[in-house]
Amino acid sequence: MGFTMKGFSRSNPLDAFVRICTLAEGQHGLVAIAQLRGEVSEQVLTQLRDAEVVEPVVEGVLRVRAGASHPHPTLYATWLLAEAAPAWERTLNTLVVSHQSAAELYGAGTVSAPRIEFSGRARTALPDGVTVHPRSVAEDQCIVIEGLPVTGPARTLADLADGQGFDLSDLGRLARSLIGQGWTTADELGPELTEQFAGRDPSYDGPTWLRSALDAAARG
């Protein structure tokens, strides 16, 4: 008969490792400890850590050492912490990588990402230093990069233009990078920016703003 210990139940080490691997297989080799509650005991997790079968990524998230490796492990691990459901069962737009973290996922290279930023809502508390912007994101404003939902190019640019401390040349370099890498085109991006700027203060005409930003980036 099972018993609980700090929210965990007794588990056979092999069964526990199978469960961990099942989750990790669909989550780039990572598992949030909250996803294991009721199935894997603290004792077994400790044994697996001591044997260096699993290793911590951030507090509350482990990586199976023989598993995959995410190119942005801290960002992905923090997103996993947001709720206990497996990654493949989550809705696309509940919690979306945004702002500077979105620029990082796009490989922009022109916008540093000193903090982790999301838009939407987290179902559980996230670590200090993580920013969750409460503004919702529509599904058609999201794409998936490396298993993470991320704001689309136009939404990312509009968010960073909204009082985030970046000048027009910074944003122009980001737009140029997004276009150059094939994430979008200038013809697509301009009208999409008009939609994203609608209702914001100030509200810009997208194509006009984009031309100004690209010109500012070209001037250096």
| Together in a domain, 113 and 54 | no
| Together in a domain, 198 and 97 | yes
Distance separating alpha carbons of residues 179 and 64, to the nearest angstrom = 36
Name 201's Cβ contacts closer than 8 Å, sequence gap at least 6: none
The first and second tokens of residue 101, run together, are 């973290």
Range of the domain at 12: 4-71
| Together in a domain, 106 and 155 | yes
pLDDT at residue 127, rounded to an integer: 93
| Together in a domain, 100 and 64 | no
- Establish if 111 belongs to a structural domain: yes
Amino acid at 57: V
pLDDT at residue 1, rounded to an integer: 34
The first and second tokens of residue 50, run together, are 């001591």
pLDDT at residue 128, rounded to an integer: 92
- Establish if 85 belongs to a structural domain: no
| Together in a domain, 120 and 57 | no
pLDDT at residue 109, rounded to an integer: 59
Got the DSSP string for the chain?
---EETTEE---HHHHHHHHHHHHHTTTTEEEGGGGTTTS-HHHHHHHHHTTSEEEEETTEEEETTS---SSHHHHHHHHHT-SS-GGGS-TTSEEE-HHHHHHHTT--SS---SEEEEE--SS---TTEEEE-----GGGEEEETTEEEE-HHHHHHHHHTTSS--HHHHHHHHHHHHHTTS--HHHHHHHHHHHHTTSSS---HHHHHHHHHHHHHH-
| Cβ neighbours around 181 below 10 Å, total | 13
pTM: 0.88
* Cis previous bond, 134, omega within 30: no
pLDDT at residue 14, rounded to an integer: 85
* pLDDT tens-digit series, residues 6-57: 444 445 788 889 999 999 999 999 999 999 988 899 999 999 999 999 999 9
pLDDT at residue 91, rounded to an integer: 94
| Together in a domain, 142 and 174 | yes
- Establish if 82 belongs to a structural domain: no
| Together in a domain, 49 and 131 | no
- Establish if 159 belongs to a structural domain: yes
* pLDDT tens-digit series, residues 86-137: 999 999 999 999 999 999 999 975 556 568 999 999 999 999 999 999 999 9
- Across residues 70-79, what is the average pLDDT? 95
- Establish if 49 belongs to a structural domain: yes
Which of 17, 40, 71 terminates a domain? The answer is: 71
| Together in a domain, 107 and 201 | yes
User: CA–CA distance from 25 to each of 44, 55, 213 (Å)?
Assistant: 19, 15, 42
- Establish if 179 belongs to a structural domain: yes
Give the least confident one: 47-61, 109-123, 138-152, 169-183.
109-123
Average pLDDT taken over every residue of the chain: 90
For residue 67, the domain's CATH number is: 1.10.10
| Together in a domain, 108 and 37 | no
Number of folded domains that form the chain: 2
Q: Tell which phi-psi region holds residue 40, choosing left (phi > 0), alpha (psi between -120 and 50) or beta.
A: beta
